[in-house]
Amino acid sequence: MTTNLKKEATEKSRKVYSAPALEKGLDLLELLANEADGLNISEITNKLNKSVGELFRMLVVLEQRGYVEMSSGSDRYRLTLKMFGLSNRFPPIKKLSAFAGPIMQQLSYSIEQSCHLVIYYEGKGHVVVQKEPPSERVFSVRLGAEVPLINTCSGHILLAFSDKATYEAMLKKIPSGHLKADEKSFLKIMDRVKEQGFESIPSSQAQGVRDIGYPVFDANGMIIAVLAVPFLEYLDGSHKVSFTEAQIKIKEAAIEASLKLGYEFD
């Protein structure tokens, strides 16, 4: 009974308190986060159903604080990387970057492919570390990119190596616009990934690329990230490292990163 009363009180307090200016600012940031090419003031006001007078000063302040910028020679506003920079000050991501970054850089050089680290947050994977080899030809995933869970290598690993409660919560958080899982067939995929200890599937975004990834665990034995490589094989045979050789090195790098984070393998 006490718990229900607390819940009702919390819900009421949420309805009472509001901060219109803050809400407008957050609406702006969330809108621009989905627009890689930016939006002009007219498009912004139309999408948010607000007047120019309501949003113009807000945009100016966000621009002054470095959260948004106007493209050179354009009237379009777009997000800067400041939000991403702030998120990377969060201790777990800083720790991941500090320990895994050097390992990933060495991996990318040795296999001549890019690699990236994906963590889970709010129904999606997010690329938080990305490394590239010194090569003229490379396929890579953008730092800060969002990764769907159901039809990607990283998503499969994040789900497969999570405990049951976390797995179910992750599925519920998947955004409405993302692909949903067919429970019966998807459980077979999860079983396969857990049994083999990794995932390797053709990229769902790029033809001719095969994604391969391994889990990275923390000191508590929980999956904290996925080390993934979008493997691009060259037709002219100029690539010296085969997919099989690269897979071994990716596995070794994931193990090394897990050990650095305090995980103890059996």
CATH assignment of 17-80, given 3.30.70.2340, 1.10.10.10, 3.50.50.60, 1.10.357.10? 1.10.10.10
Q: If we measure between CA atoms, which residue out of 150, 153, 112, 147 comes closest to residue 131?
A: 112
How much is the average pLDDT of 151-168?
Answer: 95
Q: Over 80: is that where the pLDDT of 81 sits? A: no
Q: Which of 7-11, 88-92, 98-102, 129-133 is predicted with the least confidence, judged by mean pLDDT?
A: 7-11
Q: What is the pLDDT of residue 159?
A: 97
Q: Over 90: is that where the pLDDT of 220 sits? A: no
Q: What is the pLDDT of residue 88?
A: 59
**Tokens standing for residue 225:** 């990230």
How much is the average pLDDT of 107-132?
Answer: 93
Q: Are 101 and 131 in contact (CB under 8 A)?
A: yes
* Interatomic CA distance for residues 211 and 208, integer angstroms: 10
How much is the average pLDDT of 132-160?
Answer: 90
Q: Which of 25-34, 173-182, 216-225 is predicted with the least confidence, judged by mean pLDDT?
A: 173-182
* Interatomic CA distance for residues 230 and 224, integer angstroms: 20
Query: Domain 86-260 belongs to what topology?
Result: Beta-Lactamase (3.30.450)
Q: What is the pLDDT of residue 10?
A: 47
